[in-house]
Amino acid sequence: MKNLICLVCIWINIVFFVCADNPVKNKECDIIIENEQFRLVVGSNAIAKSLTLKSTGEECLIDGENIPIFSVTQERPYHNEIKLAHPNKKTTFQADTVYWNGDKLIVGFELIPYEAIIKIKEVPAYVGFILQGFKVNPGTYPDYLKITPPPATELCLLQLPVRNKKYFGEWLNVSWDENVAVNVLATDENAYIDFEKYNNYKLLTATAFKDIKLEGTGAALIVCKPENLLDNIAQIEEDFDLPKGVQSRRSGMINASYYWSAEVNPGNVDQHIQYAKMGGFRTMNLYYPCFEGYGGYDLIGNYEIDKRLYPNGKEDLKKMLDKIKASGIIPGVHFLHSHIGRNSKYVTPIPDYRLNLTKTFTLSEDLEPGDTEVFVEQNPEGSVMAEGCRVLKVGTEFISYENYTTTRPYKFTGCTRGINHTTVNSLPKGSIIGILDVSEFGATSVYIDQRTGLQDEIAEKIADIYDAGFQFIYFDGSEGVNPPFALNVALAQYRVFKRLKPEPLFAEGAAKSHFSWHMLSGGNAFDVFTPEILKAEIRKWPAEEAPRMKQDFTRINFGWLGYFLPDKHTVGTQPDMLEYATSVAAGWDCPVSIHAYLHTFDAHPRTQDNLEVLRRWEEVRAKNWLTDEQKKMLQNVGQEHHLLLNEQNRFELVPYDPIIDVAGKSREIRAFIFERKGDHYVVYWHISGDKKLELSLNPSDITLYEKLGQEKMISSGTNHKIIIPASNRHYIKADKLTKHQLSDAFKNAQIVE
């Protein structure tokens, strides 16, 4: 009996050794995938069993879900018996077997008669999963079945049920807390990265699509301490030759606000530099009309330097950018990279064949030049009816329509031929036409079909202009692509980005998808809000997004900030508005940007004060002056803050509150009260004028400053009142008055001409 027990023990040890330390081709053993930081255990049935951080032993997978690590999707079954036995519909088949073959996993699926080959790359920073191909045994499909196996529309390279953590970055696809970070991310631009929310976990996935790219598409798994995450991603970016998103985020320029303008040119660049320096801007972003000439969105797509502004073309543009750089400001460029204007050379007189179509139809009758109805075989039900977007691309022309029928004979009615100066033509029955993918933003541009080479052609033109000396880029109109958006948004950006030399210091964009993380290190900027709603919109949008983007290890731009002149309809852009936006942004290590036009800067009486606000906060950003405690203060959007220069010309950050209904509810005076070193202060100004303010106070009650430490004279008014200037920003210090008394004095004040 004793000998039998010993033999059993020896057999168990042999099996354990074979499975644990030499698992090649053993289909009964667990799959161990690991690096120096984590271990992933997958059963031979392809169920993910465990994912642990080695340094702490923390388990990252949810218990009891039994989710296979791989799956494959087909539009319908193709194997004859499976087709007969199961419904003909889009079906996802889960993996049910997996075993090692060298450094590759061979994956089998329920019902499906083929296997996937996935190469595993185990390195210290991450583990890579790359689809190398499929294994289809001879005779799997009968000879009469004329298909190209395997008939797969998508393959899930990785799916893991990761326990919910304190934070989740939906852009980067990372679940993390103070102890561990689990990240599934693409190693190339073709992988579709996503997640699904469940009660106690998120299913992190990476998928390869047949219509994009199956073989060669890859993803990586990172499990590490959160402080090591960016280092690991940086290694992936290096190994797979991706844009250097980590390096960019660690740059000293990532928190730099920019001066944005659509009108900088060699004739006025000096004035723009002067204003940019007044605002302390380290960067300047030039919108494309600066060098293409302003013709509106309908001319987007030419991407050519306007010889009227730059007689020597690119050489003159380079000289202007050199002048900006010589002033200490870094120039960037703002393009709509995926839009083609409806009056551009790509549209008129003959539309380019690579413009995107949202629907296609077959002509059911010949189309002649005088026809105002277009007959088609397919039902137009659901076709776009928005004003300006009802456009058919028919051969060499655009045709607008007023309506369509949804019963046979199907047709588009009320047609106007040759719009946008396109060339009217005739087409025979059976020709293919389509609905033009017109931008929903004003209907003045159309979208590129990302399946064609047109985006590459435009990218070359953009890169040639960028080469004049630009150093960062804004990808506007990034939503302007065809489905799948989760891939094509980033693909369109990447087709431009990879041509930009040197690689941009940072980039922003109007839309983002997973792969964009490596490019859009600056995230996004927000559109302009008017003065009266600016603070509320800051709270609603950028202040809401900023903490979420922190979970993606990135920042956003709290601009664009418009610049409005005071008039009867608006108080215009005022120092407190800019201070609110830029201070809350600084609390999240984010910048702002301002729309700069010389005529508004020149005409606004408070431009000096407005730009001084921005200058102070830009200096704070450049010097990393804010402490973590101060940043927490600024993140409280319900409290406004003021950055003042004290008597020693040093920064002080103080909370301040608006005095409501100053001077009998006049909108002309803006005033804010704060406490400093036991005394109450008011900072105040007139929104546009140069007037005076009469207060029911004694001269001995207050001290007046334009700059702290430099007292100004106070004039005496009638009936024991004082008169102070009401123009640019001034400060009042009250030595003896309470906060209530000082506030009341401003509420009861009178404006004196």
Burial classification of residue 177, based on how many CB atoms lie within 10 Å of its CB (0-12 exposed, 13-18 middle, 19 or more buried): middle
Q: Write the secondary structure of 31-85 as one string of H (helix), E (strand) and C (coil).
A: EEEECCCEEEEECCCCEEEEEEECCCCEECECCCCCCECCEEEECCCCCHHHHHH
Lowest mean pLDDT among 1-10, 68-77, 406-415, 508-517: 1-10
List the one residue out of 428, 445, 425 whose CA is nearest residue 437.
445
Lowest mean pLDDT among 70-84, 182-196, 661-675: 70-84
Bigger pLDDT: 610 vs 301: 610
- Condensed to tens digits (0 to 9), the pLDDT of residues 694-723 reads 999 999 999 999 999 999 999 887 788 999
Lowest mean pLDDT among 38-52, 310-324, 710-724, 727-741: 710-724
CA angle, corner 413, sides to 407 and 419, nearest 5? 145
Q: CA-CA distance, 642 to 505, in Å (whole number)? A: 30
Asked whether 38 and 113 are in contact (CB, 8 A), the reply is no
Bigger pLDDT: 151 vs 491: 491
Asked whether 433 and 394 are in contact (CB, 8 A), the reply is yes
The two structure tokens encoding residue 548: 């979420």
Q: CA-CA distance, 449 to 233, in Å (whole number)? A: 31
Q: CA-CA distance, 259 to 273, in Å (whole number)? A: 9
Cα 199 from chain centroid (whole Å): 28
The beta strand positions in 391-467, using DSSP E, are 391-394, 397-400, 403-404, 411-413, 416-419, 432-436, 445-447
pLDDT at 371 over 70: yes
Residue 285 Cα distances to 151, 291, 380, 509, angstroms: 48, 12, 43, 13
pLDDT at 341 over 80: yes
Bigger pLDDT: 453 vs 4: 453
Q: CA-CA distance, 148 to 93, in Å (whole number)? A: 19
What's the mean pLDDT in 259-270?
97
Predicted structure pTM score: 0.93
Residue 501: pLDDT band (50, 70, 90) is very high
3-state helix, strand, coil in the chain (%, to 5): 25, 30, 45
Residue 148: pLDDT band (50, 70, 90) is confident
**Eight-class DSSP state of 363:** B
pLDDT at residue number 25: 43
* Residue 571 CB neighbour total at 10 angstroms: 16
- Condensed to tens digits (0 to 9), the pLDDT of residues 461-487 reads 999 999 999 999 999 999 999 999 999
Three-class secondary structure of residue 610 per DSSP = helix
The residue behind tokens 């949804």 is: 406
pLDDT at 6 over 50: no
The two structure tokens encoding residue 301: 């797509």
pLDDT at residue number 141: 84
Q: Write the secondary structure of 125-154 as one string of H (helix), E (strand) and C (coil).
A: CEEEEEEEEEECCCCCCCCCCCCCCCCCCE
Collect all residues with Cβ–Cβ distance below 8 Å to 73 and sequence separation of at least 6.
90, 91, 92, 93, 152, 153, 154, 155, 156
Residue 630 Cα distances to 587, 624, 641, 655, 690, angstroms: 7, 11, 10, 11, 35
Q: CA-CA distance, 15 to 355, in Å (whole number)? A: 61
Q: CA-CA distance, 522 to 519, in Å (whole number)? A: 8
pLDDT at 80 over 60: yes
pLDDT at 2 over 50: no
Which residues are 359's β-sheet partners? 435
The beta strand positions in 302-342, using DSSP E, are 330-336, 339-341
- Condensed to tens digits (0 to 9), the pLDDT of residues 576-617 reads 999 999 999 999 999 999 999 999 999 999 999 999 999 999
Q: Looking at this protein, which amino acid is placed at residue 675? A: E
pLDDT at 78 over 90: no
pLDDT at 13 over 50: no
What's the mean pLDDT in 314-321?
98
List the one residue out of 461, 505, 258 whose CA is nearest residue 340.
461
Residue 27: pLDDT band (50, 70, 90) is low
Q: Looking at this protein, which amino acid is placed at residue 646? A: N
What's the mean pLDDT in 185-214?
97
Asked whether 651 and 625 are in contact (CB, 8 A), the reply is yes
Asked whether 413 and 403 are in contact (CB, 8 A), the reply is yes
List the one residue out of 470, 475, 476 whose CA is nearest residue 503.
470
Residue 193: pLDDT band (50, 70, 90) is very high
pLDDT at residue number 706: 97
The residue behind tokens 């220069």 is: 645
Which residues are 284's β-sheet partners? 259, 331
List the one residue out of 420, 430, 378, 375 whose CA is nearest residue 399.
420
Residue 5: pLDDT band (50, 70, 90) is very low
The beta strand positions in 428-504, using DSSP E, are 432-436, 445-447, 473-476
Pairing of strands 397-400, 411-413: unpaired
Of all residues in the chain, the percent with pLDDT exceeding 70 is: 96
* Residue 551 CB neighbour total at 10 angstroms: 18
Q: Tell me the pLDDT of the chain averaged across its residues.
A: 94
pLDDT at 15 over 70: no
Residue 26: pLDDT band (50, 70, 90) is low
Q: CA-CA distance, 317 to 329, in Å (whole number)? A: 16
pLDDT at residue number 271: 98
Q: CA-CA distance, 335 to 287, in Å (whole number)? A: 7
pLDDT at 9 over 70: no
pLDDT at 342 over 50: yes
pLDDT at residue number 626: 98
The beta strand positions in 243-329, using DSSP E, are 258-261, 283-287
pLDDT at residue number 244: 98
Phi, psi (deg, nearest 5) at residue 66: 50, 55
Collect all residues with Cβ–Cβ distance below 8 Å to 475 and sequence separation of at least 6.
335, 337, 493, 496, 507, 508, 509, 510, 519, 520
Residue 33: pLDDT band (50, 70, 90) is very high
Of all residues in the chain, the percent with pLDDT exceeding 90 is: 90
Collect all residues with Cβ–Cβ distance below 8 Å to 352 and sequence separation of at least 6.
340, 346, 454
List the one residue out of 173, 243, 249 whose CA is nearest residue 496.
243
